[in-house]
Structures are given as structure tokens and as C-alpha cells.
Chain A
Amino acid sequence: MRDTFKIVSNEKLCPKFYKLCLEAKSIAQKAKPGQFVHIRVNAELEPFFRRPFSIHRANKYLEICYEVIGPGTKILAAKKPGENLDILGPLGNGFMLPPQGIKKVAIVAGGMGVAPFLALTDQLKKKYEIILLYGGRTKDHIFSLKAYKDNGCKIYISTDDGSVGTKGRVSELFSKIIPDASTYIYTCGPKPMIKAVQDFANKHQLKGQASLEEVMACGVGVCLGCATATIHGYKTVCHDGPVFELGEVVLGK
């Protein structure tokens, strides 16, 4: 559950995006797509909390992709190969397989929200037709495309500045490429995007799953700090989630 693991590489994908590879067999072997790890980036008191990151891929190594946002991810970005990291994981429920009868899945990802989906497509590629709708700020913020192509995904891209793909938001792109009613949805990204996907899915009676983010302390369902509203009351993102039925989550404005 908790151990220290050696960093194999920690490379820059674009100015603020990094990919971290860890020698973490015990986690990689157990990990399911959609689960996450909780990393203590500093043995001192600052920053105090661990930082949660989705498992991008779990093969030989455990891979994590992250964006430098604040002090925690800044410290992470400065870590060198050979250094050790204190990690709790794998945590959370992970994605469930689509229900029986589904052949086609659409993944709607915004920004770093794409991170958990490479592992998911690794799992789904054999049995499902996969459409990836992927939105980022600019062409530099789009990554792992080759791996998604290798997994047979049909890819649609949108960027805020139009530097690659369609200009605009991925949720708009989603509503244009209207998937037929038999398409199953997986989504992760900023809350407004998930909300837009949910609204669209409701309108067209599509089902799916959403992976959510909340600030976390324990990461294992103890503190009840990462509560998110659902139609069944509050649930913890770390333990009951991070993956929820798309129709179950109650998102604010």
C-alpha cells in the first residue's frame, strides 16, 4: 500500500507538462485503469498533503503525467531519475467496463484529464471501437497521441487557440460528433467540461462514467475530506471514486 519507489525518468512533455516513470512493480501489477496514486513530494512539512495523480499507464513501469500547478507539482518536476518517492497506491475504484452489449466508447478528455485514459484504452482496445475527443490549450498541451493511435483510437482534437484540431472546447466538439445512442462515455477533465458532457448525455440518453477530482488529505476514505455531491448523497472521491456513474454526479454551476 505505502512504499518508496525509484524514479526511472521525469521528462518534460511541454513547458508545464511532465511524464514521470517509476519502478513500482507492486503498484503496476495491481493497478486498474482509473485508479490513482498519492505521492508525498517532500519528506518535510511543506507542502503538507500528499498529491494525487492518475495512473497514466501501468506496464513495466508506472507512468504518471502531470502539470506544474503549484508548490507540490513544482517539487515533483525537480525530481531526478534515481531518487525515491513515497507513494500510497493504487487507490480508488477505477473505471468499470462498459455494460454488456456496448461496442463503441467515446472518451471525452479535457487537459490533464486525459491522463487516466491511456491505461483504459490499453484495456478496451481489443473489444471496443474507441473514439477519443481530446481538448487542450494549444498543440503543445496535447500528448501521448501516438500511444492512443497505436491503441486504435479514432482521435478528434480541439484546442483553445486552434493550433491543432478544431478551435474551441472539447465539449462542443463532442456535441458536434454526435455519437449514436449505443455509445458509452468516459470523461475526465475540468468540472464545467464534465457538466457539459453530462448535460449532453442526459439529452441524448447516453450512459457513461466520469472521473472526478477533489482536494485530498488521506486518499483512502478515512478523513471524509474529499466529499462530492451525488444523487445518493455525499461520496468520497478517493474511496467511492474517483470514477462515478455519469448520471450520478451532482455538479454545481
Chain B
Amino acid sequence: MDLSVKIGNVTFKNPVTVASGTWGLVEGYSSSSLGAVIPKTVTLYARQGNPPPRIVETPAGMVNAIGIENPGADAFIAGKLMEIKKIGVPVIASVSGNSDEEFQALTEKFNLAGVSALELNLSCPNLKHKTLVAQDPIAVKRVVALVKKLARMPVVAKLSPNVTDISVIAKAAEDAGADAVSLVNTFTAMVIDVHKRKSMIGNFTGGLSGPAIRPIAVAMVYKTAQTVKIPIIAMGGIMTAEDALQFIIAGATMVAVGTASFVNPETPVEVLEGIKEYMKKNKIKDIKELVGSIQGS
């Protein structure tokens, strides 16, 4: 059975990975069998994150506003990344910048860090505009192009679902040379405590994730797969192998488990095992046969 998939010139032994910010080197979060791991986004300088409360439970999901709390690129590369690399699973590093210069500096740092790919978390401020980079195809094109010029590893553009048409943004990333796109990040969301008439999130708004968003994410992946030729890393509420298979059949080359790990840290491994079982049962020899195999009605 061939489970291997390719992004740019890098081959991953299977299509299952973890979503940035939802995985860590912790007992119980087994990852040695996965195709890759994607650690939490790092920024050029350390960030302390948003004031609490940072999370709230919602129907079949959660809203978070962590604020990319991270130790900064240098500390991450010298510290945690070294530990992560010891697992022996390819690392897709996630980075985010506040400016073009920061994205450039991050790319140069990670060029020397020995990672398999670079994921650009584009849900970051788009200076001079009141949007996120991920909401502006021109900015996406610019950032991806400047990173591509420097990067020695494949570059993945991580897209926000908070747009009118995500496939337009994906196309902009592809045109700028991205080796893959990953989608979706969280949906802007809010929960209000009616007794206190206050937001349940310190940052006021946050991002919705978990099974609640899955059907929307599947539709976005499907539409994007119809629009771009580069591989898609799909995520959004995957709890089971069947959930992951929906994304693959819709056109995703890789799938990432996110929020589900908080409920069951073994979800990524269970998803991988379930995909194997499905392939065995349906006599599918190569996972690539499944990618985008959705039938017309």
C-alpha cells in the first residue's frame, strides 16, 4: 500500500499531519508514525499572547484567541525544534510575520534550521490595509513570492476561511510559486456571556475550530481543488478517518488533525490507521488514487 505524498520535491511517508498550535511534544501525543508534524506558529520575536480567557467551548468546537504566544524564532530553533527533530518525523515549520521584512528574516533563519517545508501563517496583519494578508490576494502574492525567492524548502501558504472566495486566494498563492496551500485556519467567532454582557474571550473575538466547521472546510477544499493544481493540506474539524477521507476525496493531498487532539490526543494516529483500513477494504493501492476522486452526481 503506498501512502506517500509529495509537496514540492519533498516526499512524506503518509498524508496525516497535525495542525499548527494543536500539537506538542507531550506524553500521549504520539507522532512517530505520522507523515509530518507542524508545530505552533513562531514569529521573529517572542510574543506573550492574548489576555485570558483565551478559549471557550462551543457546540462541537471551540473558539480560541491565543495570540500566537511563542518564544520567537531563534529560541524555537535552538530549543524545541531540536527536541521535535529527535522524533524522526519531517517538520513543517509554521511562521508568521508582521511585515515583508519579518517574513524574509524568518525564511533565512529556517533555511538553516533543517525543516522539510515552511508553512506561512498568513492570518497576520497586512500593513497599511485593515485586513489580514490572507484576505488580500495581492498581499498573498507578494509575501509568497518574496519567501519563495529565498526559501530552500517547499513553501506552503496557510489560508484563512474569512474571505469571500478562498479559491481566489489559493490561486494567488499558486501564481506566486507556492508549493502547496493549507486550509482552513479558524473562522472569526465570538461568544457572549449574557449575564455579564461581556465577551467570553479576553481578545473579544477569536477563531472557531473543531467539528463544527468541518462541512464548510470540506466545501472550501473542494472548491480550491477545482481551482489550483498544487497540493492542498486540509484541516478543519477532523475527528475520525472518515472525516479525513472526505477532505482527501474532495481534493486534499494531506490532512491535518487539530482541535480533536485536545479531546483525544491519539486522534492523528487513529486517523492514519483508519485511512489504511479504508484503503485495504476498498482495495486502493495508492492514496493518490483517492485524492480528488469525488464522483459527479
List chain A positions with a Cβ less than 8 A from chain B. 1-2, 40, 45-50, 86, 88, 214-229, 233-234
Q: Is the CB of B265 within 8 A of A47?
A: no
List chain B positions with a Cβ less than 8 A from chain A. 21-24, 26-29, 40, 48-49, 51-62, 64, 66, 69, 210-211, 239, 259, 261-266
Q: Is the CB of B57 within 8 A of A47?
A: yes
Complex Cα gap A223–B28 (Å): 14
Q: Is the CB of B263 within 8 A of A215?
A: no
| CB neighbours of A47 from chain B (8 A) | 57
A223 touching B22 in the complex, CB below 8 Å, given contacts A48-B263, A50-B263, A217-B62: yes
Choice from A1, A50, A220, A226 contacting B55 with Cβ under 8 Å: A226
A228 touching B24 in the complex, CB below 8 Å, given contacts A48-B60, A222-B261, A222-B262: no
| CB neighbours of B264 from chain A (8 A) | 2, 40, 86
Q: Which chain B residue shows the least CB distance to A51?
A: B57
| CB neighbours of B54 from chain A (8 A) | 224-227
Q: Is the CB of A220 within 8 A of B69?
A: no
A215 touching B51 in the complex, CB below 8 Å, given contacts A2-B28, A222-B24: no
Q: Is the CB of A222 within 8 A of B26?
A: yes
B contacts with A: majority SS = loop
Choice from A214, A221, A224 contacting B26 with Cβ under 8 Å: A221
Most buried by A among B52, B264, B265: B52
Shortest Cβ gap from B127 to chain A (Å): 26
Choice from A40, A50, A222, A233 contacting B23 with Cβ under 8 Å: A222
Q: Is the CB of B53 within 8 A of A215?
A: yes
Q: Is the CB of A229 within 8 A of B55?
A: no
| CB neighbours of A221 from chain B (8 A) | 24, 26
Provide a sorted-by-A list of 13 A–B residue pairs whose CB atoms are within 8 angstroms.
A45-B239, A48-B58, A50-B262, A214-B52, A215-B57, A216-B55, A217-B57, A218-B265, A222-B26, A223-B21, A225-B64, A226-B54, A229-B52
